[in-house]
Structure 1
Amino acid sequence: MHSMPKAWSLLLLLVILVFGAFVEGSHGSKLSQNYYKSTCPQVLSIVKAKTESILKKKPRMGASLLRLHFHDCFVNGCDGSILLDDDSTFIGEKTALANNNSARGFELVDDIKAEVEKTCPGVVSCADILAIAARDSTVVLGGPSWKVKLGRRDSITASRADANKFIPAPSFTLSALKSNFHAQGLSLKDLVALSGARTIGLARCTTFRAHIYNDSNIDPSFAKSLQHKCPRTGKDNIHRRLDLRTPISFDNFYFRNLLKKKGLLRSDQELFNGKSADSLVKKYAADSSKFFKQFTKSMIKMSNIKPLTGNSGQIRINCRKVN
């Protein structure tokens, strides 16, 4: 009888310890700005320096790094899966419709990863490096900055089928875009703001051909100028700037172009086509600070989509293949 209180005390202590470990483990598995504070405190400065060095020589690659991060997050979360080459167990995302002969910058991620590995071997994930590089690229090209939460781990598989399913197509209507973004937990505000990243970068003829020949919501002279470079057949890989005014400056000219019906892709002009996104396009076209403010919020939200944390996934040594 006298041993019961002692037994209950031990049991209670055990419960407290287990619960405490669970809470600590749960907290540790969340993304945090200070995730590498003790394991690789230099990671932000290393990635920034390398990204700046790359973009000084090739500024257009800033759009490529930002796009890689976007496409990575939309396919089963921000887990670096887009960086994986095909192997014997899966066909990866690089040959998906949205990425094949289009997605670029893989070698740049390799270079940044190699630089990080020199100082912090086996510590920083490829997914985190991509998230940081996307932010740094935006800043280098004149855009806003934001705090990147870290702690993502890398996937051990990839899926071309999922990439084809989840990455929004340039032919999408506004309704399709809204559904696509909603499936990722993103709102109409997020959709419009994140689309503004297309103020930098290029698009292939195959992605805008239908828009310049078949759609009515396009400035006729703009369409005609594009038709000279992108015929109805052939020249699929001819590239055109998504923003003709300031193609390597991160600004709000993307939205200004939409007001003039000069969106290069159908999915661009759908954002300003007499529907629910019109007011947001007008707001961002009139005030770049409002665009930047929402863009940072939306990027933080997008970069936190279903990350692998804790013991899930791995820290890849080579971003192109599973350890």
Structure 2
Amino acid sequence: MDVNYRWALVAFSVLLMLQTGPTSAQILGFYDMKCPRAESLVSLTVQQAVARDPTMAASIVRMHFHDCWVEGCDASVLLDSSPAWGPAEKEAGPNQSLRGFEVFDAAKAAVEAVCPGIVSCADIIALAARDAIVAVGGPTWQVPTGRRDGTTSTATSAGLNIPSSLFTYSQLLMNFLNHGFSEDEMITLSGAHTIGRAHCSAFMGRLYPTVDPSLDPAYAAQLKARCLPGGNPGIVVPLDPGTPDIFDNSYYLNLGAGRGLMPSDAALLNSGFSTSISQQNGQNGQFWTVKFANAMQRMGMMNLKLGLLGEIRTNCRVRN
């Protein structure tokens, strides 16, 4: 483990001790005594969901990113709208295509049945993201637990923080830097697009009225056959045309071949540094997966609600 990450874990442990008392200072295996089956129940729920629908893995990981990127990893993305604060995060434009809320409902119900009021929805999201990546052949990483759930959720906050698929490279970089992540980490986390799908509307501008010249012509023809002008807006296309349900480094190989789907994917080739890192990730998949696991672990520790700063929701969709 990198020294910086080791120190981050130590700092997190100390913060837990200060805010929730000595019994909560164990961050790895936080539920070993309080709810020993917690992590296995979340893992089983995710495995079953991905077995039924392999595309769910990407949706679960995306949920984690969209949660952490808005005021920290506090499960605020799962909250429904409320008269108290108006439209919730899930109503924001970037979040309206989120799916898989029922998976988190199921995981929460499973842990509540054996140890009510103990496991936070925020921990469930972080654990589920790791388990979803593992379920499709990706790396694992340690997930520190002990998060508490946030009590507010606003669409405005989500709209201001979630990066758009239309962002230029400089806009993407600024967004990640503002959230405390390096340029290398941004490129590394972008590799999550090796799984999942995107609606045609997210990249139609690269096909019509003229084809983006950076697209591989054969790939562009395939996309145009699938995404017709004025066609069904619900049609989706794999982000990775070759292995859409396998977590591998083909995302970076696709970029170099002009088969990056989203405008924000293609934007990674607009920087010499990003092009170089993408090529390295494409040449050494094992190296990339280690970096990816480290970046995901760090992302899961963003702006945590600990102790009295949060709660343990009974229902992930509603604050207590």
TM-score for both structures, normalised by structure 2: 0.90
Opposite residue 60 of structure 2, the aligned amino acid is L
Residues 164-215 of structure 1: per-residue CA shift (max 9 Å, x gap): 1111100011111110011110111111111111111100111111123353
Residues 236-258 of structure 1: per-residue CA shift (max 9 Å, x gap): 22100000100100001111100
The answer to whether structure 1 residue 133 and structure 2 residue 128 are counterparts is yes
The answer to whether structure 1 residue 240 and structure 2 residue 233 are counterparts is no
Question: 1:193 & 1:251 partners in 2: Cα distance?
Answer: 12
Task: Give the 5 Å matches for 1:60-99.
Answer: 60-90=55-85, 91-99=87-95
Aligned length: 302
Is this contact kept in 1: 2:136–2:247, CA < 8 A?
yes
Question: 1:225 & 1:245 partners in 2: Cα distance?
Answer: 13
Does the residue aligned with 1:76 lie in a helix, a strand or coil?
coil
Question: 2:132 & 2:60 partners in 1: Cα distance?
Answer: 7
Residues 73-115 of structure 1: per-residue CA shift (max 9 Å, x gap): 0011100010011111121011211111x10000110001100
Opposite residue 196 of structure 1, the aligned amino acid is G
Opposite residue 75 of structure 1, the aligned amino acid is V
1:23 to 1:56, Cα distance in 2 relative to 1, 3 A: closer
Shift of 1:229: 2.0
Task: Give the 5 Å matches for 1:100-179.
Answer: 100=96, 102-179=97-174
Bigger drift between 187-196 and 271-280 goes to 271-280
Question: 1:303 & 1:23 partners in 2: Cα distance?
Answer: 15
1:222 to 1:308, Cα distance in 2 relative to 1, 3 A: same
Task: Give the 5 Å matches for 1:255-270.
Answer: 255-270=252-267
Question: 2:214 & 2:53 partners in 1: Cα distance?
Answer: 33
Question: 1:122 & 1:301 partners in 2: Cα distance?
Answer: 26
Is this contact kept in 1: 2:169–2:271, CA < 8 A?
no
The corresponding residue for 2:220 is: 223
Question: 1:263 & 1:225 partners in 2: Cα distance?
Answer: 13
Opposite residue 25 of structure 1, the aligned amino acid is L
Is this contact kept in 2: 1:30–1:309, CA < 8 A?
no
Task: Give the 5 Å matches for 1:171-210.
Answer: 171-210=166-205
Shift of 1:31: 7.9
Give unpaired runs (5+ residues) of structure 1: 1-20
Question: 1:50 & 1:221 partners in 2: Cα distance?
Answer: 39
Shift of 1:272: 2.0
Opposite residue 221 of structure 2, the aligned amino acid is K
The corresponding residue for 1:25 is: 18
Is this contact kept in 1: 2:90–2:98, CA < 8 A?
yes
Opposite residue 207 of structure 1, the aligned amino acid is A
1:95 to 1:234, Cα distance in 2 relative to 1, 3 A: farther
Question: 1:280 & 1:253 partners in 2: Cα distance?
Answer: 14
Is this contact kept in 2: 1:212–1:218, CA < 8 A?
no
Residues 93-152 of structure 1: per-residue CA shift (max 9 Å, x gap): 11211111x100001100011001111100111010010010001001000000001111
- RMSD, aligned α-carbons: 1.8
Does the residue aligned with 1:139 lie in a helix, a strand or coil?
helix
Shift of 1:234: 4.2
Give unpaired runs (5+ residues) of structure 2: 1-13
Question: 1:22 & 1:138 partners in 2: Cα distance?
Answer: 28
Does the residue aligned with 1:272 lie in a helix, a strand or coil?
helix
Pick one of 245, 251, 255 that aligns with 1:254. 251
Does the residue aligned with 1:171 lie in a helix, a strand or coil?
coil
Residues 18-55 of structure 1: per-residue CA shift (max 9 Å, x gap): xxx99942585778113222211221111112211221
TM-score for both structures, normalised by structure 1: 0.89
Opposite residue 218 of structure 1, the aligned amino acid is L
Question: 1:171 & 1:22 partners in 2: Cα distance?
Answer: 38
Identity rate, percent = 40
1:204 to 1:23, Cα distance in 2 relative to 1, 3 A: closer
Question: 1:295 & 1:23 partners in 2: Cα distance?
Answer: 25
Does the residue aligned with 1:277 lie in a helix, a strand or coil?
helix
Opposite residue 198 of structure 1, the aligned amino acid is H
Q: Which has the larger radius of gyration?
A: 1
1:81 to 1:23, Cα distance in 2 relative to 1, 3 A: closer
